[in-house]
A and B are shown apart, each in its own frame.
Chain A
């Protein structure tokens, strides 16, 4: 039915099988659509957010997907600026995942703000002292860069390529991609950092507050570092999932190994700095506020175990696995380490958002709890559905993996 649209020389499932594959993701999108409609129509009272939990599930999703989507800018930087040629086999995947993550996060933010129609006030009445302004500016600009980076991949579709003008346009875009990669790197560096800065600057919230360098709290640098460490690993995870589902080898091992090795060193560096950050915070910021590390975890479900998980099981352990050549060359260990790293980064963002707000600062304030409503889950999971859908469509109709044909030669008949 759609064979004329499929890339040359590769095998794809039947249109019906593809249609059935998309149903659960369309279902998630429908759920998210209904939830978003209710939130926009009736207001944010549809959520379980409150004056205590001003930031909740959506912000955790936002920060998580933006960190996981960092593979796009960092792989772009390595491919086009550092000129690591083997990564050209995985750059398309990284760009598409980045695009999904950033566009999903933007859509979610549009619902999360109380007055979405006034969203443009961020740019019109920008408060240059706010970290969130920098985040908003850079994310918006970077989404445009990602769209430009995604465009040549779309234009490589078999049917679109037949149109000469589009083919030339796509080809020329490819030629100047280094410019966009550099722009993307610059923008991403600052918004990943500012996302961390957002929490570090909350000096009256001792759980999040950090000291730093000049105007940047340490979280600024740690968020950048953690994002560039885990982003490529998430790209690897998505590639491995695609390989598992399609039962094909899609990316040469050289690309995966190159990316895993770089991530391993970055993750190790990050974990060392993160441990120093924790120590500096425990012995500096916290006692200055008249508190102790244990005092944060006296009430509620959040305990020291979260910090232990973040540093040891989702930090040191994957770093050790990935840094040893035997570890990262073993398929199972590589996937486990990538998975643990991604969980660790999500846990880190969760701690900075939910636990920061859950812990009362005033000594006589009580501890409040929060559980998301189905509307909040709906909007959050819609991003997952949207991601699966866009990636599946891209895989089906676009030459996302340049070496797919070479790695899976057609059986001789």
Chain B
């Protein structure tokens, strides 16, 4: 993909790095995401096959017996694939699109016909279909928390994480009002990034060398989910633990090469403060 847009300006490529060593699996990112984006709920949210969770938390273990058991959590938003997103080319009604200037994979709810081909094509399970009418129980006061910036979705359409696109719009409007053409890193942050109590999520422009994410993605401990399929996700994960990194993709026996770097191992990069400055 071209690095510049038609005006010769560098295009933005928003992405995030999720530090799995920091993530405690508290689920705040899921809640913040749902509240921010008017995600409809069900009376029974335990129906995981049909509940809508733009940001979904997976629990993984190293598969070893006690006392060697280790647990990690995988927060999984939409990966906003950068190369030929599997969902975009298959959509019949052009209801989903990879925005060239932001790298965000958008979803036009009012154009989606609900054929669900995009869901079938997405290997991350990041797309959700509205099996029911939108439901925000009044007796729980949920209707009063609805955000006016995000349209609730109707029954029969597919929805997904948008990297809180409305926040980008808000930041751009603010910048425009102040006579600026570009927005600062802190002006556009997703709801999950802001809500994470341990700051495990870092969000920003991968094309901007001044943004923290663009530095973090170069760390040898960062990896992407199902990278070898060639979808080029813009969501990166960070873990100092080999077994976690290994679970990020499928490997044939003997294929996985552990990240061994003496300096980092000796200096215990995974626990030392300041490691993010790599």
Contact = CB atoms under 8 A, between A and B. Distances in A.
Interface of A: 43-45, 49-55, 112-115, 118-119, 121-122, 124-127, 129-133, 136, 198, 201-206, 287-292, 295, 356-357, 361-365, 368
B93 A204 contact: no
B131 A43 contact: yes
B229 A122 contact: no
Contact of B125 (A52, A126, A206, A291): A52
B230 A203 contact: yes
Nearest to B249: A290
A363 B113 contact: no
A205 B94 contact: no
Contacts of A51: 49-50, 119, 125, 127-129
A122 B226 contact: no
Contacts of A202: 86, 90, 120-121
Nearest to B124: A362
Given A118-B93, A203-B229, 8 more contacts: A114-B129, A133-B92, A136-B92, A202-B86, A203-B86, A290-B228, A357-B120, A364-B58
| B interface residue count range (under 10 / 10 to 19 / 20 to 34 / 35 or more) | 35 or more
Contact of A113 (B111, B114, B132, B252): B114
Interface string B121-144: 111110111111100000000000
B202 interface: no
Nearest to A199: B120
A122 B90 CA distance: 12
- Please classify the interface of chain B as helix (H, G, I), strand (E, B), loop, or mixed, using the class held by over half of its residues: loop
Nearest to A368: B49
A122 B86 contact: no
A45 B131 contact: yes
A363 B250 contact: yes
Given A45-B131, A125-B94, A287 B252 contact: yes
Contacts of B122: 204
B130 A114 contact: yes
Nearest to A363: B247
Given A121-B113, A204-B229, A356-B120, A54 B249 contact: no
Given A51-B127, A204-B121, A362-B225, A121 B93 contact: yes
Contacts of A54: 116-117, 119-120, 129
Contacts, number: 161
Contacts of B120: 54-55, 202, 205, 356-357
Nearest to B131: A45
B193 to A, nearest CB: 22
Interface in B95-124: 95, 111-117, 119-124
B123 A361 contact: yes
Sort A-B residue pairs by CB-CB distance and give the 9 closest, nearest first. A114-B114, A114-B156, A290-B250, A50-B49, A54-B119, A54-B116, A361-B123, A204-B123, A121-B93
A204 B92 contact: no
Contacts of B226: 204, 361-362
Contacts of A52: 49, 125
A215 to B, nearest CB: 10
Contacts of A129: 89-90
23 contacts: A43-B131, A43-B132, A43-B133, A44-B114, A44-B129, A52-B125, A55-B117, A113-B115, A114-B112, A114-B116, A115-B113, A125-B93, A129-B89, A130-B89, A132-B90, A198-B90, A203-B229, A204-B226, A289-B250, A290-B251, A362-B225, A362-B226, A363-B250
A43 B124 CA distance: 25
A54 B120 CA distance: 6
B86 A45 contact: no
Nearest to A291: B250
B33 interface: no
Interface centre among A54, A125, A291, A357 (most CB of B within 10 A): A54
B50 A45 contact: yes
B84 to A, nearest CB: 8
A43 B250 contact: no
B217 interface: no
Contact of A126 (B58, B90, B93, B156): B93
A115 B247 contact: no
B255 interface: yes
A203 B229 CA distance: 7
B155 interface: yes
A205 B90 CA distance: 13
B79 to A, nearest CB: 10
A288 B95 contact: no
B210 to A, nearest CB: 32
Interface string B244-268: 0001111110010000000000000
A129 B121 CA distance: 14
A115 B112 contact: yes
Interface in B153-190: 154-158
Contact of A204 (B86, B95, B115): B86
Contacts of B150: none
A52 B127 CA distance: 10
A115 B90 contact: no
Interface centre among B113, B115, B130 (most CB of A within 10 A): B115
A262 B1 CA distance: 48
